Chain A
Amino acid sequence: MTKSLAFLVLAAVLVAAAPLAAHHGRGATFDMKKRVTLKGVVSQVKWQNPHVLIFIDVKDDTGKVVTWGFENSNVHTLATQGYNRNTLKLGQEVTAVVNPAANGEPIGIIVKVILADGKEIMSRERGNPVD
């Protein structure tokens, strides 16, 4: 039941994503059922097509910094939602929720970004479809 529900939710996301950003097949390489919450500072924003890429530096329990990258929708889809290349600034503290790579690499597909004041932006369910 849980599995079929998860499939339905995923199917709904994919259908919603289809009209604007349907250029990649990612195979089975991301775990779309898993979510990782990352707290860190923005280290790079690649505001580009076909996909906007955002990188944040995340400190692990031992103090070691790992740079995580996550993939978003494309420039025009994000722009329609009012986001731009300066929405996230270098050094800004954010929390990112992502579906991680299945093999444990520090990369993922965005679920949402939570700002310091608790505001959620670039949510995949709302205007940032990734396919």
Chain B
Amino acid sequence: MPIQSARIQSVVSLGAIAAVVAIASPVTAQGQFDPRDLSGIWSITSGHRSISANVPPMTPEGEARMNANKPTRGRFLGEPLNGDHPGFVRAVRIPAQGNDPAHKCNPNGFPRLLLDPEPVEFVQTEGRLLQLFQWERTLRELWMDGRPVPSGENLDNLGPAWYGHTAGGWDGNTLVMTTVGLDDRAWIDIFGFPKSTEARFEERYTRTGPDTIELRMTMTDPKYYKQPWVGDVKKFTRVKRDETTFFGWYGLFAGVTEGICAPMNEVDSYNTLFRDPAGKGAK
């Protein structure tokens, strides 16, 4: 595009944005913001590390699958529940006795990666919201071009994916996204709750301020859970620029840095040199 027309277009766009902001934006003490702009680098700063603390009753198949997952996170197995769901109180004391797929650098998958507090950049483009995760240095594509999520034979032909297939759009000033087709080998969370390939997630993102987004998430998975698992309110807070500035460079040439879990680091080095020797001889 010629510079001149680009400039004109950007002036027009700016005018349009200003008009939209003036009409539609809630005004807060912190200033104005466009509620339909989720761009920026964010970190999840409040909310449960799982979907919520209120786990719905599970099916026998779901419970069996959960018991096969041996987490190292959460409270230790055998500690008093104190009102917590048993799924949060079953961590093994010796990490090598666990079977967390992420500890061998398998993908965290959705929603586990989204629930991780490491920074994530939201990039809004025509018809898509991209979530670029620092941890794993991976992305999710959330389609908002009018397409439905795949279903029936289409979904079956596509098969499951670590991050599933996501599509949705705006409901007022809330972005509503549906995800289907998730790989059942990835855990829901660090605690080892399972999900089946039939799981369906709804995410509702609402910009509540210049530096905050709230997320409400619900999972429906009748194969493993007798009722929908309704999420708590999860708050994303903008990561300050100086927190992603390294040696004078903002983000070292990208917004988020390289948090890759490479088996050569994690398995051959960390597990071999630290995790496993530390658990040696312990019961």
Contact = CB atoms under 8 A, between A and B. Distances in A.
Contact of B72 (A20, A26, A46): A26
A20 B134 CA distance: 10
A51 interface: yes
B245 interface: yes
Interface in B141-160: none
Contact of B278 (A50, A53, A79, A105): A105
Nearest to A70: B274
Contact of B135 (A23, A28, A30, A53): A23
B34 interface: no
**Interface of chain A: mostly helix, strand, loop or mixed:** loop
Interface string B81-102: 0000000000111110010101
B261 A50 contact: yes
Contact of B94 (A27, A75, A105): A27
B91 A27 contact: yes
A80 B257 CA distance: 11
B71 A80 contact: no
A74 B45 contact: no
A80 B265 CA distance: 21
B93 A28 contact: yes
B15 interface: no
B101 to A, nearest CB: 12
Given A19-B117, A49-B265, A102-B282, A84 B247 contact: yes
Interface of A: 18-30, 46, 48-51, 53, 69, 71, 74-76, 79-80, 82, 84, 101-103, 105, 107
18 contacts: A19-B117, A20-B117, A23-B116, A23-B261, A25-B72, A25-B98, A26-B275, A27-B91, A28-B94, A28-B282, A29-B93, A29-B279, A53-B269, A76-B246, A76-B257, A84-B247, A105-B277, A105-B278
